[in-house]
Structure 1
C-alpha cells in the first residue's frame, strides 16, 4: 500500500457513519449485508448510505457483490490488512518482530 491509498482509507474511516458501516460489515463477516439493510440498521437514508459505501469502496475497505437485484456489501479484509501493514511496517525502531503480538491480535482468518 502506498501513502495516498492509506490516506484514502484513513479519511474514509475518519467519518462517524462510515466507521459504523465498516464495523457493521466486519461483524457480518464474509456473508456481508445487503445495502438496504445497512441503511436500515444504522437509520441512514439510502441515498446517503450509498455515498458512504462508495467512499469506503473507493478506499479499498468494502466491496460490493451483486446477487440478482440486490447488492451485498462485505468488508474487504485484505484492504484493511494492507492498511494495518502500512501503518506498522516501520514499527519498533527497526525491530518489527516486537510488533508480532499486535499483528497477530488484529489478523483474522476471514
Structure 2
C-alpha cells in the first residue's frame, strides 16, 4: 500500500514538473533552452508512466535523477545563469517547479528503499 501511494505521489510530481516546463515552453522559450524545456516535459511524462507501470528500481532512480538534474539546472539559472537564462525565483511556475522537483528527488529515493509487498509474496 505504501509503495503504491508513493508511486502515485512521485508520478504526480513528475507530471507537475513536466507541466511547468511545457507551460514555459508554450510561453516563448526558444532555441536550445526551449528545446530542453520541451524535452524535460516529455521526459517527465514518460517517467511518470514508467513509475506507475513498472515496479522496478530504474523508474525510481530515474525520477530522483530527473528531479536532481532539473532542480540543479534551475539553481544554476537562478544564481549564476544557465544557457542564457537568468531566473529570479519570483513566479508561480518557478515555485511549483522547485516543489515538484524536490518531491521527485525525495520520493524517488524513498521508492528505492520501500519494499513492494506484492513482489515479496510472489
TM-score, scaled to structure 1:
0.32
Q: Larger % of strand: which?
A: 1
Higher relative contact order (CA 8 A, sep 6+): 2
TM-score, scaled to structure 2:
0.29
